[in-house]
């Protein structure tokens, strides 16, 4: 350990806010020499600089603190639900004193440059005053929102009186009394400051560009009961926060906003409004951030509140936001909208009346000049990347971080903690980490602990020059964008998207999959020996390169990978450990399917069988004449699955292929074993052919199709129809079909577990389905074993790269081809089993469904 030379450290940390302080503590406790450099005069970071009137936290205080020390937890008592800035700063000081942190922090010192020395494998770190130190590890703890943004208004410097930015507020109290004050900006900072400034100012003019959704904080002092109860249960609370979405011990209700009646929704939203809190309103439902229609229910509610609170209807109208709710950081306030009822407050909509320049006396808009004594910029920050770019950080080959990320290239990190070409540099709460979307304290503790453990690992294994691989960061960055694209987050111009800074490239700057999932992924990476990173052996400077490959080199689709990680995070037991009934109940994948699209008519009806009846669901698109038909069989290993599982793809196929889709609810095993499902499936196709006219179907243009076990049934029905001289089928659409009762393919070996459908689950399915081993050899169970596949209808076979069934599906396609059956075979390389019914979360599901619809259209058209 480098402990004696005052210019050489094991680690240099930049920034003495919450993350820098904890990093210092963790590394120092582990015996490393650490120096923290802080530009400010004292500790506190965000809470040191943001001391504007009304500044307080938007996460409940009892959750917004360090949790690593029980002693600290027990010795500190928060006064109110949302602590004010001075109290938070006091808390930080309390911790710093308790852990004696100041002795390793150098204040009033701005780091201006950091350069990686490839020869020495360390960082040379330069300060504003010209001094330089070296360290093996360079750790940025700069905060996500520390580079304040003052827009480049014309005449900016000409204003002669007082000017402030909320994020660089002076230590001394600013006196507003009797003054003409102007505030530009109505984000979280503006909305907190405006009500407080209004009480003191002679007149306050608010210059608003985008109106905001804001809900009441309903702040109040804590009573001792809450504090005691929290202390007693903190171990449990901590676990809940760590594995949650946003780092708080609560979660969204698993229900769509569209499932409740308008009255019930109103009741719940009103209750949330009265309760207050950052996520209270959105957590009523799980799709407010995903579905525009669901989002609109919450947005409408908040707008109705604004209308009720603000007395002047014109002002109320100006305050009505229209973007998707919660796609900017949600805001909670104390009397924000009420402030506009004050005589001394006026609101200028600068979209209607743009600011043309700042003058020596105030602000000039296209309409008039507003004379001001005090001008407050509440105009936010150059978020995430801004603080990093303020330092000239140069990695290998003297490439700067800014060049790598911005100048013609793209932002790429691995886990938001590291970026290739910058060995031994760690970013705490960096871009593409979940930090800004969460309770920062939970993210900070996770980052710091992961980095400290990683450094221990490197030391123990004599590894140096630790950096992300290009493949890993490519993967992670795609992942971040793909996850954000599944939600409404990327549909709004926000600082999350870099949209608040002129010229900043637009891309989503955080990981939006939640802190719980993120933690699991980071732990997984570490458990695999820091997969996705490279390092060099330290002994004698040998250049043996150690690259941890594996998952991240694979070509699995990032969205599919995310689905897998999410499913893993639910901790659901393997299907084969359940009873069939339990499995049917637990297999609710509606969220993966996404929102059902409109089809002209959708009806359920029963059809007769020789020994009973089954239900079919008939989707008919708008059309005049008789339409072709696709008889569709859902998957689920003949044991689970139902009409709802495939409702979304059936709707999409009906609309795109312009055909009637008849989805069949065949009877399931083990209650009904082989050959019940095949006979039901065949009966359904016969029924469609015989009753074609009554359902507006052309009997000469019938196709069969299905996915997984449903693909098996479709293939088998095609065989049966040929063998029994039944309905003549024009096409068979086989989506990753089961074709053989055997587990000996390469794809079974490669994908036996970890990719949604496992080998063990397939064994469980087959065992429930077949009466005995002999059944498995029957071509109506294993169509690949059919003696003859000539004379079957043309086929589309779609397979997934990461699917145990991949090879048997492709083998069946080859058999058909060899027998002269026209076959279109496509492997979706990066996909997993089941992707066809996951269009809610997988772009490739859309491609697959479109491909199938096009193939069907061609087949129907030919006849």
Binding stretches for ligand N01 (CB under 6 A): 57-58, 145, 151, 166, 184-190, 192, 209-210, 329, 350, 378-381, 495, 500
| Closest to ligand N01 by CB, 57 or 101 | 57
Q: Give the nearest residue (CB) to ligand N01.
A: 187
CB of residue 572 to ligand N01, shortest distance in Å = 33
d(CA 538, CA 314): 69
Distances (CA, A) of 564 to 394, 540, 573, 577, 821: 36, 42, 14, 19, 35
- In angstroms, how far is the first alpha carbon of the chain from the final one? 79
| Closest to ligand N01 by CB, 190 or 783 | 190
| Closest to ligand N01 by CB, 288 or 378 | 378
CB of residue 312 to ligand N01, shortest distance in Å = 21
d(CA 760, CA 776): 17
CB of residue 488 to ligand N01, shortest distance in Å = 16
| Closest to ligand N01 by CB, 69 or 317 | 317
Structure tokens at 472: 């890993």
d(CA 185, CA 611): 71
CB of residue 21 to ligand N01, shortest distance in Å = 19
| Closest to ligand N01 by CB, 356 or 857 | 356
| Closest to ligand N01 by CB, 151 or 699 | 151
Q: 495-513: b or e for each residue (b if 16 or more CB lie within 10 Å)? A: bbbbebbeebbebbbbbbb
CB of residue 289 to ligand N01, shortest distance in Å = 16
| Closest to ligand N01 by CB, 375 or 681 | 375
The answer to whether 702 and 695 have CB atoms below 8 angstroms apart is: no
CB of residue 49 to ligand N01, shortest distance in Å = 11
| Closest to ligand N01 by CB, 268 or 363 | 363
Distinct helix (H) and strand (E) counts, the chain: 27, 29
CB of residue 823 to ligand N01, shortest distance in Å = 54
CB of residue 381 to ligand N01, shortest distance in Å = 6
| Closest to ligand N01 by CB, 186 or 339 | 186
Nearest CA to 746 out of 843, 818, 827 is that of 827
The answer to whether 502 and 152 have CB atoms below 8 angstroms apart is: yes
| Closest to ligand N01 by CB, 189 or 420 | 189
CB of residue 383 to ligand N01, shortest distance in Å = 7
The answer to whether 147 and 27 have CB atoms below 8 angstroms apart is: no
d(CA 280, CA 711): 44
CB of residue 207 to ligand N01, shortest distance in Å = 6
The answer to whether 852 and 733 have CB atoms below 8 angstroms apart is: yes
CB of residue 380 to ligand N01, shortest distance in Å = 3
757-763, long-range: CB within 8 Å, 24+ apart, which pairs? 757/708, 757/803, 757/804, 757/805, 757/832, 757/833, 757/834, 758/574, 758/804, 759/804, 760/574, 760/576, 761/574, 761/575, 761/576, 761/637, 762/637, 762/738, 762/804, 762/805, 763/576
| Closest to ligand N01 by CB, 437 or 681 | 437
| Closest to ligand N01 by CB, 310 or 831 | 310
| Closest to ligand N01 by CB, 492 or 826 | 492
Residue 505 backbone dihedrals phi, psi, to 5 degrees: -60, 145
Q: 553-572: b or e for each residue (b if 16 or more CB lie within 10 Å)? A: eeebbbbbbbbbbbeebeee
Pairing of strands 533-537, 601-609: unpaired
The answer to whether 658 and 857 have CB atoms below 8 angstroms apart is: yes
d(CA 472, CA 616): 46
CB of residue 191 to ligand N01, shortest distance in Å = 7
| Closest to ligand N01 by CB, 321 or 670 | 321
Place of tokens 């089809």: 599
d(CA 236, CA 809): 47
CB of residue 214 to ligand N01, shortest distance in Å = 10
The answer to whether 362 and 375 have CB atoms below 8 angstroms apart is: yes
- Number of CB atoms found within 10 A of residue 598's CB: 9
Structure tokens at 594: 């996404």
Instruction: Show the beta-strand stretches assigned E in 372-486.
Output: 374-377, 392-394, 425-427, 463-468
**Torsion, Cα of 319, 324, 326, 329 (10° steps):** -70
| Closest to ligand N01 by CB, 497 or 792 | 497
Residues 6+ apart with CB under 8 A from 357: 153, 154, 155, 363, 364
| Closest to ligand N01 by CB, 416 or 711 | 416
Nearest CA to 689 out of 740, 746, 629 is that of 629
CB of residue 31 to ligand N01, shortest distance in Å = 35
CB of residue 508 to ligand N01, shortest distance in Å = 15
| Closest to ligand N01 by CB, 132 or 366 | 366
CB of residue 514 to ligand N01, shortest distance in Å = 17
Nearest CA to 294 out of 303, 306, 282, 279 is that of 282
Distances (CA, A) of 110 to 16, 48, 67: 12, 15, 29
| Closest to ligand N01 by CB, 46 or 122 | 46
CB of residue 486 to ligand N01, shortest distance in Å = 21
d(CA 631, CA 732): 10
- Please give the angle made by the CA atoms of 330, 91 and 54, to the nearest 5 degrees: 45
CB of residue 522 to ligand N01, shortest distance in Å = 22
């Amino acid at each position: 350990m480098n402990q004696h030379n005052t210019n050489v450290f094991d680690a240099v940390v930049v920034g003495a806010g919450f993350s820098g302080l904890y990093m210092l503590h963790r590394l120092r406790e582990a015996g490393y020499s650490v120096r923290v450099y802080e530009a400010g005069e004292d500790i506190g970071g965000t809470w040191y600089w943001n001391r504007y009137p009304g500044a307080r936290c938007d996460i409940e205080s009892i959750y917004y603190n360090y949790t690593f020390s029980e002693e600290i937890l027990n010795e500190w008592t928060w006064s109110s639900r949302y602590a004010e800035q001075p109290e938070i700063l006091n808390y930080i000081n309390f911790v710093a004193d308790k852990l004696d942190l100041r002795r390793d922090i150098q204040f009033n010192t701005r780091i201006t440059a950091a350069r990686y020395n490839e020869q020495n494998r360390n960082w040379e770190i330069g300060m504003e005053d010209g001094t330089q130190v070296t360290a093996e590890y360079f750790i940025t703890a700069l905060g996500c929102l520390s580079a304040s943004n003052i827009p480049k208004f014309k005449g900016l410097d000409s204003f002669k009186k007082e000017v402030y930015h909320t994020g660089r507020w002076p230590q001394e109290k600013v006196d507003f009394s009797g003054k003409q004050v102007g505030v530009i900006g109505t984000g979280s900072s503006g909305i907190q400051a405006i009500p407080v400034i209004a009480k003191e100012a002679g007149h306050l003019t608010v210059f608003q560009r985008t109106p905001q959704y804001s809900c009441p904080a309903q702040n109040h002092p804590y009573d001792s009961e809450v504090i005691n109860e929290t202390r007693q249960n903190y171990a449990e609370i901590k676990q809940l926060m760590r594995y949650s979405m946003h780092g708080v011990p609560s979660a969204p209700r698993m229900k769509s906003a569209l499932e409740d009646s308008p009255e019930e929704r109103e009741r719940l939203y009103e209750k949330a409004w009265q309760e207050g809190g950052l996520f209270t309103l959105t957590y009523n439902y799980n799709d407010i951030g995903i579905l525009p229609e669901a989002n609109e229910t919450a947005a409408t509610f908040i707008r109705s509140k604004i209308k009720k609170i603000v007395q002047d209807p014109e002002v109320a109208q100006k305050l009505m936001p229209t973007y998707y709710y919660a796609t900017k950081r949600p805001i909670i306030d104390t009397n924000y909208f009420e402030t506009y009822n004050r005589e001394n407050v006026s609101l200028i909509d600068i979209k209607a009346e743009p600011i043309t320049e700042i003058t020596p006396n105030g602000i000039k808009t296209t309409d008039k000049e507003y004379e001001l004594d005090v001008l407050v910029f509440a105009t936010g920050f150059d978020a995430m990347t801004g603080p990093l770019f303020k330092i000239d950080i140069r990695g290998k080959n003297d490439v700067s971080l800014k060049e790598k990320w911005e100048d013609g290239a793209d932002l790429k990190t691995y886990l938001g903690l590291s970026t290739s070409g910058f060995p031994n540099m760690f970013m705490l709460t960096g871009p593409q980490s979940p930090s800004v979307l969460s309770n920062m304290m939970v993210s900070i503790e996770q980052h710091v602990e992961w980095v400290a453990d990683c450094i221990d690992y490197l030391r123990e294994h004599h590894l140096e020059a630790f950096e992300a691989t290009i493949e890993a960061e490519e993967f992670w960055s795609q992942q971040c964008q793909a996850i954000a694209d599944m939600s409404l987050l990327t549909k709004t111009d926000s600082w999350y998207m870099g949209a608040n800074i002129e010229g900043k490239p637009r891309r989503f700057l955080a990981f939006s999959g939640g802190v719980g999932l993120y933690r699991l992924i980071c732990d997984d990476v570490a458990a695999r020996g820091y997969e996705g990173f490279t390092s060099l052996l330290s002994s004698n400077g040998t250049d043996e390169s150690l690259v941890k490959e594996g998952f991240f080199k694979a070509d699995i689709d990032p969205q599919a990978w995310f689905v897998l990680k999410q499913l893993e995070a639910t901790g659901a037991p393997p299907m084969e450990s359940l009873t069939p009934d339990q499995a049917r109940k637990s297999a609710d994948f509606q969220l993966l399917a996404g929102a059902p699209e409109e089809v002209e008519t959708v009806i359920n009806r029963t059809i007769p069988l020789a020994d009973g009846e089954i239900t079919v669901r008939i989707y008919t698109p708008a059309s005049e004449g008789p339409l072709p038909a696709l008889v569709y069989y859902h998957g689920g290993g003949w044991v689970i699955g139902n009409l709802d599982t495939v409702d979304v793809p059936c709707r999409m196929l009906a609309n795109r292929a312009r055909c009637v889709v008849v989805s069949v609810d065949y009877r399931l095993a083990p209650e009904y074993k082989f050959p019940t499902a095949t006979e039901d499936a065949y009966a359904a196709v016969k029924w469609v052919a015989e009753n074609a006219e009554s359902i507006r179907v052309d009997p000469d243009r019938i196709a069969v199709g299905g996915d997984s076990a449903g693909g098996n049934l479709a293939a088998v029905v095609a065989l049966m129809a040929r063998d029994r001289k039944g309905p003549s089928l024009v096409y068979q659409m086989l989506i990753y079909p089961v074709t053989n009762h055997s587990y000996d393919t390469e794809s079974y070996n490669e994908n036996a577990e970890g990719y949604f459908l496992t080998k063990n689950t397939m064994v469980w399915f087959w065992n429930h389905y077949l009466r005995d081993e002999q059944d498995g050899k029957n071509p109506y169970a294993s169509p690949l074993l059919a003696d003859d596949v000539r004379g079957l209808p043309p086929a589309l076979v779609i397979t997934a790269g990461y699917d145990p069934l991949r090879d048997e599906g492709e083998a069946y396609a080859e058999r058909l081809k060899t027998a002269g059956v026209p076959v279109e075979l496509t492997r979706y390389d990066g996909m997993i089993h089941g992707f066809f019914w996951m269009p809610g979360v997988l772009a490739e599901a859309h491609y697959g469904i479109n491909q199938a619809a096009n193939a069907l259209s061609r087949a129907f058209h030919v006849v």
